[in-house]
Amino acid sequence: MALIEIRNLHASVDGKDILKGVDLVIEPGKVHALMGPNGTGKSTLSNIIAGRDGYTITDGDILLNGQSLLEMEPQDRALAGIFLSFQYPVEIPGVATSTFLKAAINARRRAAGEGEIDAMEFLKLVKAKAKELGVRDDMLKRPVNVGFSGGEKKRAEVLQMALMTPRFAILDETDSGLDIDALKVVADGVNALRSPDRSFLVITHYQRLLSYIVPDVVHVFAGGRIVRTGGPELAEELEAKGYADYTGAAA
Amino acid sequence: MTASALSLVTVTEAAQAAAPLTDAALTALRAEGLTAFAAHGLPTRTHERWKYTRVSPLAEVSFVAAPTGGDATAIQTAEEQALNVPGALRLVLVNGRLRPDLSDAAALTQAGVSIQTLSDAIATDAAAVKAGLGQALALADNPFVALNTAALSDGLVIRVSATPQAATPLHLLWITDAAAGAAVLVQPRLLVEIGRGAALTLIESQVGATGGDTGGDSLTNRVSDITLGDDARLTHISLHNDSRQARLLTALQARIQRGAVYDGFALTLGGALVRADLRVELLGPGAEARLNGAYAAGTGQHVDTTSFIDHAAPHCTSAQTLKGVLDGTGRGVFQGRVNVQRIAQKTDGHQLHKALLLSRGAEVDTKPELTIFADDVKCSHGAATGELDEDALFYLQARGLDPDTARSLLIEGFLDDVVELVSDDALRDALTAKIHQWLESRS
Amino acid sequence: MAATDSTAQTVKELERYKYGFETNIETELAPKGLNEDIIRFISAKKEEPEWLLEWRLKAYRQWLTMTEPTWANVRYPAIDFQDAHYYAAPRQKIAPKSLEEVDPELLRTYEKLGIPLREQEALAGVAVDAVFDSVSVATTYKKRLEEMGVIFCAISEAVKKYPDLVRKYLGSVVPPGDNFYACLNSAVFTDGSFVYVPKGLRCPMELSTYFRINEKNTGQFERTLIVCDDGAYVSYLEGCTAPQRDENQLHAAVVELVALDDAEIKYSTVQNWYPGDAEGKGGIYNFVTKRAACRGRNSKVMWTQVETGSAVTWKYPSCILQGENSVGEFYSVAITNNHQQADTGTKMIHIGKNTRSKIISKGISAGHSDQTYRGLVRIQPGADGARNFTQCDSLLIGDQCGAHTVPYIETKNPTARTEHEATASRISEDQLFYCLQRGLNPEDAVGLIVNGFCKEVLQTLPMEFAVEAQKLVAISLEGSVG
């Protein structure tokens, strides 16, 4: 069975149609890339999968392991295994990153009927993962995303992903704002998480990231739906030719 | 009634008698105003809105009705004190009364712009005038508005309707002509109605006929009622630059409908006591108000800006930045309240007051206030007081400027910062020139 | 998902107030009402010297001429000052000389409140004075403190044992006629704590008073006086709770702090009086006058308050900065939910040269509550080089509450610098969604975000209480998120 299945998804914001019939099936263990021009609804799609308020679903469905997500609250979707690495991670002043991570881990443990994580165990776990991703210890003490550089924010997102062990992760423009070294670190982090029962949707504008996170399937997204699907070679074609063919079609 | 306010009442009663109104409703309104003022008398410092401004000395003054005034030298002196905005059509009002002989004739014949004296407007359509008189400021709570209402007869009514061509800016020259030895009471009323989709630039200069430090005692108690229809726009520039003895109390009540923009800027430089009471109501979605300004007060001057911005509809914006310079024993007061009603979601309201104290004896009192009853809002206020930046002064001196020039430069920079908020070049230049003139006169 | 949309409208009954129980204990009450005889009765019960009785009577006579203040942004029915007992004390045969002699029922009450009084169980490093209705029932670690020269006892005891100190400072910061409630307090105050820290001593223990209103139809009128002599330091914390009752009860306290040369006082409050139920029935009227005199050079007073309880709060802990280089700081978190009303803030009066003050106020309004920050910063002509920084932030949760900011800033010295900033907004949807996406439920997410919002204030609390305060912040907002 597909891990994630999106059927004929239509959605609007303030009466304006953004998604116009998205169909997408992702099998367990696969990495799909979603590419396309800016402003065509890619971030809308990721927000809707994660359950953000403010969108009206006018048709279609989103299934995780055959179960519809549409009626679920965002936190329940998260606990069911959906993870969104935000394009613009928000700052939460006054809340230390480590406090936040602990709260998120404990939310999962509570849902699984387990007790809260032991403080020492937590520290060990976080520090080990942080080291792998080049997240410095002092970042863990700082408030969530406050004063982080663009690259630090993206690393922190991937660190969270590593700690939350999701079933399905969406990386929304995770490459934006990263220099080449940071890009490699982030990509290594993602690749380390690839496993037969975990799937990814990598949303990006450029092919660059896909050289490091090699996708199984590439989709072109334009005008609120997927307009073309192919293998990794499609990403290279887009890099060479741009999106001109699709922007016209979308309008 | 406080017996002490007797002179103000007597002169107002005389004004009523001298200019009787035929309209019953307006006559009743006048009586209501007088009753309200008489009942409450002059506000004292226990009135929260008058906490920092004492008006009780007015009780000691024997006021007289204002003379016609306005001879040639008086006009020339007044002009020097006023804003210089080339291209604007000028209307001159001496002691509250329109002087067509001194005004630009073209001002009275512009397409889409109707201008009448208040008494003519009442004679034409008293009901329309009554409808335009702001109901926003309750007479019982606003003694000076009550007194002005009691005196209702002098002043101007400006009505603008949408025309293909934008109206030429209007410049009102309010001239106080007070002979030495007598204290004149001037109580004009200004009604401005900008119709749906119409726009106007209105410039006002409040000046003295004798200029600067001379001139008799006076009290100008001016009330403006402004109504902006849907998508209307008013750019409103005011200069208060009366003589050193003049007292000026202005009250402005603006009602702003859906999508309309009130863009106000007030510069206060002259006058012994200048109090501006601003009440702005944002009544329809998308309405916007800007109430910016700058002031300078030296020895013997007291400048008070008290504003109330009422967000009564969602998606409205208000912004207010005020900067003041206090010198000698000058005193500045800013009381600003932004009220966000429960219905006014998505409000954006910001307020900032900054004051520079240049000497011992100067004082500034600030009370910015937020009262918020809706949750989806972005509101803020800021206030700061301090002296000139010593480091900056030293830097300029190290570059060879003498201390006075350096100080002037920094003060000018401090005020320019807020004048920059005026987008029209000609208007901005006119304001900057006045500030410059004030700085020159200071040193 | 509507995590904030339907906020506050379906507020359930407050199960959150876990201190709402009542202690069954025999109580000695003064007859209801207030007159000179009642004041004589209180004074006699306390075995007070003549001067103090006269002081009380003088205050009472002045109080009769005063009227209740109405300028605050709070509304409540008129208080019948004759319909309350002004003295209520647990009946004890003899005054307990040590903790072993204290009625076990009282000890159990404080244990239930999380304040064990037996020293072997008590928090190490924290000495507690427990005030139950009108009297102090126990003070821990008294002996150890005495050995160091620190006086920490009930004020009634101090009147007897240290009359000169009390007489010198009582009413010297808040004179009896200062305001209506302070004047009432001066006439009828029953107990409270007295602290004196001698020259040069940094008091190594946290001193803490725990106030408990238990009896029905009583008010609590405690009086606290803290004097820090030259170079001394003390950190003091007060906590307050009361049973859940349908009637409103009045709490009108006066706190006076005196800091001499180089002295420092840190005064923290965790105020959790019963706030009333979800419909606004019952709860404490908390009308308190707190003021510090920074009399000495380089003296420093720091007020921290976490205000989550009370139906109505009227409170402005202030600093009079007389001494050169003296420092006043005010850190406040105020949370109002349901029908609570709070009008609170501070006054910083700069008199001396180079005095500095800092005000950090974080207000959170939820439910149908109304909250006002009211503050005064006054720079007197002689306060050369004075500095003030003020930051007031309000957070609104739900569209039925109000948040107001009313600062007064008066500057009469050109070399002084003041800065004031205030903001008001609701919890950001982006922050909330981010937390939910990581699996937090809405209440935990709001608790986390609000605690972050208050961090700057909470971190000024003594460590022992910071954790408790964080929990209290989250609990106080329960039911406010849909």
Which is it for strands B233-241 and B261-270: parallel, antiparallel or unpaired? parallel
Q: What are phi and psi of C240, to 5 degrees?
A: -145, 135
**Mean pLDDT for all residues in chain C:** 87
Whether residue C206 has pLDDT greater than 50: yes
**Which chain B positions have a beta carbon within 8 Å of C424's beta carbon?**
370, 372, 377-380
User: Do B and A count as touching (3 or more CB pairs closer than 8 A)?
Assistant: no
Look at residue C97 in the predicted model and tell me its pLDDT: 64
Closest CA to A61 of A23, A12, A13: A23
Residue in chain A lying closest to C430 (CA): A90
- Min mean pLDDT across B276-280, B329-333, C107-111 is at C107-111
Q: Are B220 and B87 in contact (CB under 8 A)?
A: no
Look at residue B123 in the predicted model and tell me its pLDDT: 93
Look at residue C125 in the predicted model and tell me its pLDDT: 67
How confident is the model over B176-180, as a mean pLDDT? 81
Q: Are C350 and C320 in contact (CB under 8 A)?
A: no
| Band of residue C433 on the pLDDT scale cut at 50, 70, 90 | very high
The larger pLDDT score, comparing residue C100 to residue A59, is at: A59
Whether residue B373 has pLDDT greater than 50: yes
Sheet holding A67-68, edge to edge: A16-26, A4-13, A56-64, A67-68
Q: Are C340 and C368 in contact (CB under 8 A)?
A: no
Whether residue C14 has pLDDT greater than 60: no
**From CA A218, how far away is CA A204, in angstroms rounded?**
11
Contact at CB, C433 and A53, closer than 8 angstroms: yes
Q: What are phi and psi of B202, to 5 degrees?
A: -120, 125
Contact at CB, B375 and C396, closer than 8 angstroms: yes
Closest CA to B89 of B72, B103, B68: B103
Q: C402 CB near a chain B CB, below 8 Å?
A: yes
How confident is the model over A5-22, as a mean pLDDT? 94
Q: What is the pTM of this model?
A: 0.89
**B333–chain C nearest CA distance, Å:** 9
Closest CA to B200 of B104, B112, B84, B288: B112
Domain boundaries of chain C, sorted by first residue:
27-476
Closest CA to B381 of B439, B301, B322: B322
Look at residue B65 in the predicted model and tell me its pLDDT: 87
B-to-C residue pairs, Cβ atoms closer than 8 angstroms = 111
Contact at CB, C400 and B342, closer than 8 angstroms: yes
Sign of CA dihedral A216, A219, A225, A228: negative
Start-to-end C-alpha separation, chain C: 9
Which whole-number Å values give the CA distances from C352 to B11, C324, C357, in the listed order? 49, 5, 12
**C287–chain B nearest CA distance, Å:** 22
Other beta carbons less than 10 A from residue A70's beta carbon: 13
How confident is the model over B414-436, as a mean pLDDT? 95
Mind listing the pLDDT tens digit for each residue in C298-320? 999 999 999 998 999 999 999 99
The larger pLDDT score, comparing residue B215 to residue B44, is at: B44
Contact at CB, B366 and C409, closer than 8 angstroms: yes
**From CA C122, how far away is CA C140, in angstroms rounded?**
9
Q: Are C212 and C271 in contact (CB under 8 A)?
A: no
Look at residue C475 in the predicted model and tell me its pLDDT: 82
Percent of chain B with pLDDT over 70: 97
Contact at CB, B370 and C404, closer than 8 angstroms: yes
Whether residue B214 has pLDDT greater than 90: no
Residue in chain C lying closest to A70 (CA): C1
Q: B371 CB near a chain C CB, below 8 Å?
A: yes
| Band of residue C121 on the pLDDT scale cut at 50, 70, 90 | low
Contact at CB, A53 and C3, closer than 8 angstroms: yes
The larger pLDDT score, comparing residue C389 to residue B245, is at: C389
Q: Are B184 and B176 in contact (CB under 8 A)?
A: yes
Long-range residue pairs from C34-38, CB within 8 A, at least 24 positions apart, any chain: C34/C60, C34/C81, C34/C82, C34/C84, C34/C86, C34/C187, C34/C188, C36/C60, C38/C86, C38/C87, C38/C188
Mind listing the pLDDT tens digit for each residue in B63-116? 988 888 878 888 888 899 999 999 999 999 999 999 999 999 999 889 999 999
Q: B365 CB near a chain C CB, below 8 Å?
A: yes
| Band of residue C1 on the pLDDT scale cut at 50, 70, 90 | very low
| Band of residue B323 on the pLDDT scale cut at 50, 70, 90 | very high
Mind listing the pLDDT tens digit for each residue in B246-257? 999 999 999 999
Contact at CB, B363 and C394, closer than 8 angstroms: no
**From CA B364, how far away is CA B360, in angstroms rounded?**
12
Q: Which of C71, C399, C419 sits opposite B375 (nearest CB)?
A: C399
How confident is the model over C135-140, as a mean pLDDT? 74
How confident is the model over B175-201, as a mean pLDDT? 91
Q: Which of A73, A75, A95 sits opposite C449 (nearest CB)?
A: A95
How confident is the model over A45-74, as a mean pLDDT? 94
Q: Which positions ≥6 away from B395 have C-beta within 8 Å?
A: none
Yes or no: is domain A4-91+164-250 CATH 3.40.50.300? yes
B-facing residues of C in 53-82 (CB < 8 A) are 71
How confident is the model over A32-37, as a mean pLDDT? 92
Domain boundaries of chain A, sorted by first residue:
4-91+164-250
How confident is the model over C95-107, as a mean pLDDT? 70
Distance of CA A32 to the CA centre of its chain: 11
Contact at CB, C435 and A51, closer than 8 angstroms: no
A-to-C residue pairs, Cβ atoms closer than 8 angstroms = 88
Look at residue B267 in the predicted model and tell me its pLDDT: 98
| A contact test, residue of C429, C437, C444 with most A CBs within 10 A | C437
Q: Are B65 and B15 in contact (CB under 8 A)?
A: yes
| Band of residue B1 on the pLDDT scale cut at 50, 70, 90 | very low
Q: C424 CB near a chain B CB, below 8 Å?
A: yes
Look at residue C124 in the predicted model and tell me its pLDDT: 62
Whether residue C94 has pLDDT greater than 60: no
How confident is the model over C262-274, as a mean pLDDT? 92
ipTM of the complex model: 0.90
| Band of residue C27 on the pLDDT scale cut at 50, 70, 90 | confident
Contact at CB, C421 and B358, closer than 8 angstroms: no
Percent of chain C with pLDDT over 90: 59
| C contact test, residue of B347, B356, B385, B393 with most C CBs within 10 A | B385
Contact at CB, C439 and A108, closer than 8 angstroms: yes
Contact at CB, C455 and A74, closer than 8 angstroms: no
Q: Which of B362, B377, B383 sits opposite C424 (nearest CB)?
A: B377
**Mean pLDDT for all residues in chain B:** 92
Look at residue B136 in the predicted model and tell me its pLDDT: 61
Which residues of A make CB contacts under 8 Å with C? Answer: 50-54, 73-75, 77-79, 82-84, 86, 89-95, 99-100, 103-104, 107-108, 111, 143-144, 160, 164
Q: What are phi and psi of A72, to 5 degrees?
A: -90, 145
How confident is the model over B341-355, as a mean pLDDT? 96
Q: Which of B364, B374, B378 sits opposite C399 (nearest CB)?
A: B374
**From CA B12, how far away is CA A216, in angstroms rounded?**
88
Q: Which positions ≥6 away from C255 have C-beta within 8 Å?
A: C174, C223, C224, C225, C226, C267, C288, C289, C290, C291, C317
Which whole-number Å values give the CA distances from C30 to B230, C38, C43, in the listed order? 67, 7, 12
Bridge partners, residue B149, by sequence: none
Look at residue B70 in the predicted model and tell me its pLDDT: 78
Look at residue B138 in the predicted model and tell me its pLDDT: 81
**C376–chain B nearest CA distance, Å:** 9
How confident is the model over B144-153, as a mean pLDDT? 94
Look at residue A185 in the predicted model and tell me its pLDDT: 86
Look at residue C9 in the predicted model and tell me its pLDDT: 33
Q: Which of B369, B378, B385 sits opposite C405 (nearest CB)?
A: B369
Q: Which positions ≥6 away from B140 have C-beta within 8 Å?
A: B36, B39, B40, B146
The residue assigned the tokens 């508005």 is B145
Q: Which of A53, A54, A86 sits opposite C434 (nearest CB)?
A: A86
Whether residue C119 has pLDDT greater than 70: no
Q: Tell me which chains share at least 3 CB pairs under 8 Å with chain A.
A: C
C380-391 residues labelled b (16+ CB within 10 A) or e (exposed): beebbbbbbbbe
Contact at CB, A53 and C444, closer than 8 angstroms: no
Q: What are phi and psi of B22, to 5 degrees?
A: -85, -25
**A94–chain C nearest CA distance, Å:** 4
Contact at CB, C444 and A107, closer than 8 angstroms: yes
Contact at CB, B363 and C410, closer than 8 angstroms: yes
Q: B367 CB near a chain C CB, below 8 Å?
A: yes
How confident is the model over C210-231, as a mean pLDDT? 87
Nearest-5° Cα angle at C76, C75 to C78: 125
Whether residue A248 has pLDDT greater than 90: no
Whether residue C205 has pLDDT greater than 60: yes
Q: Tell me which chains share at least 3 CB pairs under 8 Å with chain C.
A: A, B
Look at residue C57 in the predicted model and tell me its pLDDT: 96
How confident is the model over C92-117, as a mean pLDDT? 70
Other beta carbons less than 10 A from residue C77's beta carbon: 6
How confident is the model over C49-71, as a mean pLDDT? 94
Residue in chain C lying closest to A55 (CA): C1
Look at residue B42 in the predicted model and tell me its pLDDT: 92
Percent of chain C with pLDDT over 70: 92
Which is it for strands B302-311 and B331-340: parallel, antiparallel or unpaired? parallel
Whether residue C101 has pLDDT greater than 60: yes
Look at residue C95 in the predicted model and tell me its pLDDT: 58
- Min mean pLDDT across A66-75, C107-116, C429-438 is at C107-116
Q: Are C220 and C133 in contact (CB under 8 A)?
A: yes
**B326–chain C nearest CA distance, Å:** 9
Contact at CB, A83 and C435, closer than 8 angstroms: no
**From CA C469, how far away is CA C131, in angstroms rounded?**
21
Q: C416 CB near a chain B CB, below 8 Å?
A: yes
User: Do C and A count as touching (3 or more CB pairs closer than 8 A)?
Assistant: yes
| Band of residue C3 on the pLDDT scale cut at 50, 70, 90 | very low
Whether residue C243 has pLDDT greater than 80: no
Q: Which of C433, C440, C451 sits opposite A107 (nearest CB)?
A: C440
Look at residue C123 in the predicted model and tell me its pLDDT: 62
